[in-house]
Amino acid sequence: MEKNSTKAMIITLATIGIISAILLTFVYQWTIPYIEANQEETRRIAINEVLPTAEEINQVERESQIFYEGYDSSGNRVGMAYQHSGGGYNGPIELMIGVDLEAEEIIRISILNHQETPGLGARITEEEYKSNFAGKPFGDYEVVKTPPSKTMEVQAVAGATISSANTTRIVEEAVSMINNAYGGGS
C-alpha cells in the first residue's frame, strides 16, 4: 500500500510536469518570434532616436561588444549608438546612447527598459531629463538639483536623485566602453 501510493505520487507529479513542459515548449515556440520582434523594434526606435540624422545603420562588433554605426545618405559616419545597462533604483536600467566620435560628445540618449517608480524615477524617460545629455562632451558628469550652470552638470529629476545619478553613471560607463572600443574616440 505504502509503496503503491508513493509510486502513484511520483507518477502524478511526473505526468503533470511532462505535460506542462510540452505545453510550454509550444507556447515558447509560438511567442518567441513576437518577443524578439518587439525587442528588435524597441532597439530600432531607440537607435533612430539617438542618431536622428542617420539614414543607414551598420551593426559592428568590437571588443566583443555590439555597436551601431550610423551613416547619412552620402555615406559619412554621423555617429555611433551603443546599448548599455546598469542598476537603477528598483532594478536594471537599459539605455541606448548615441555619440559623435569626431566631436567627442553625446548626441542623445534613450531609455529602453527600466523599473523605476512611476511619477518619480520613471521620469528619466522624459525629454526634460534626457535632454541634459544632448551635446555633452565625454567625461565625468556631476548630478545637481538645480538647472545646470556648468557644462558637465546634469540636472536630476525632482525627487529622484538616485535614479538620475544611476542613469548618469550608466551613461558614463557607456561612453568609456565606446572610447575603449574605438581607441579614445579617434
Partner 1 sequence: MSVNAKQLISDFKNGLWQENPIFRLVIGMCPTLAVTNTMVNGLAMGLATSFVLISSEIVVSLIKKLIPGDVRIPSYILIIATFVTFVDYFLKAFYPSIAASLSLFVPLIVVNCLILGRQETFASQNPVHRSFADALGMGIGFTWALLLLSAVRELFGMGSMFGLQILGDWYRPMVIMVLPAGAFITLGILIAIMNVIGKNATNDTTCH
Partner 2 sequence: MSEFTQLVLLFFGTVFVNNFILVRFLGICPFLGVSKQVETAMGMGLATTFVMTLTGAATWLINTYILEALNLPFLQYVSFIIVIASLVQFVEMFIKKTSPVLYKSLGIFLPLITTNCAILGLALLIPLNGYSFIGSTVFGFGAGIGFTLAIVLMAGLREKLEFGDVPGVLKGVPVTLIIAGIMAMAFMGFSGLITI
- Please state the closest distance from residue 186 (CB atom) to partner 2, in A: 30
Residues in contact with 116: Cβ distance below 8 Å, sequence separation at least 6, in sequence order: 88, 89, 90, 93, 122, 124, 160, 163
CB of 8 to partner 1, least distance (A): 5
Q: Which residues bind partner 2 (CB under 8 A)?
A: 17, 20-21, 24-25, 27-28, 87, 89-92, 161-162, 165-166, 169
The nearer residue to partner 2, 85 or 155, going by C-beta atoms, is: 85
Please write down the HEC assignment for all residues of 83-115.
EEEEECCCCEEEEEEEEECCCCEEEEEEEEECC
Nearer to partner 1, 13 or 152 (CB): 13
> What would the grid cell of residue 159 be?
525627487
DSSP state of 47: H
Residue 161 contact, options partner 2, partner 1, none, Cβ 5-8 Å cut-off depending on partner type: partner 2
Question: Three cell numbers at 106?
Answer: 553625446
Closest CA to 116 of 154, 158, 171, 164: 164
Q: Which residues lie near partner 1 (CB under 8 A)?
A: 5, 8-9, 12-13, 16-17, 20, 23-24, 27-28, 30-32, 34-35, 38, 42, 91, 113, 115, 117-120, 159
22's contact among partner 2, partner 1, none, with CB below 5 to 8 A by partner kind, is none
Q: Cell numbers 548599455 correspond to what residue?
A: 84
